[in-house]
Amino acid sequence: MKHNAVMGHRMVTDMVLLGGDVAEPVRAELRYHRNDPLAVEMRMSIGSNPAVSWVFGRDLLIEGLRRPSGAGDVRFYPVHESVIIELRSCTGKAVLLSYLPDMAAFVAHIVSAVPVGAEIGHEDVERELLELGQP
């Protein structure tokens, strides 16, 4: 697996799709946006196929790097220097293997940008209430 650094509020890294006869390389991009501070987007592509996007809770990612987490469509299982990411939909399941230190660097970066517990600040709530009252 090739390891990559965090750039801005995104990280591009290589993962491996497990299952089948051959493990396939997956290019993954994790994105974090301050305007949606509770979510992380993961866009994945294999070869020249179009990217598939999954959005999941930032807290799930943070917790999933420390211990098995998730009870729904997205689950994380940290194992030694890796993290297994299981994605489920009505059409099937994908199991990805990622490099844990890369994921941890991304989490450290987004938590330093928006600390845990400060995802929705007082100013944000007031601004949203004002926007609701405008035509």
In this predicted model, what pLDDT tens digit does every residue of 62-92 receive, in sequence order? 999 999 999 999 999 999 999 999 999 999 9
Establish how many alpha carbons lie within 13 A of residue 113's alpha carbon, considering only the half-sphere containing its beta carbon.
Answer: 20
Tokens of 58: 């930032």
What's domain 6-133's superfamily in CATH?
Sporulation-specific cell division protein SsgB (2.30.31.20)
The single-letter DSSP state of residue 46 is: -
Domain boundaries, the chain: 6-133
On the question of pLDDT at 131 being above 90, the answer is no
In this predicted model, what pLDDT tens digit does every residue of 9-57 receive, in sequence order? 899 999 999 987 888 999 999 999 888 888 999 999 999 999 999 999 9
Cβ contact 130:123 at 8 Å? no
pTM to 2 decimals? 0.81
**In what helix (H) or strand (E) does residue 87 lie, and over which residues does it extend?**
strand 82-89
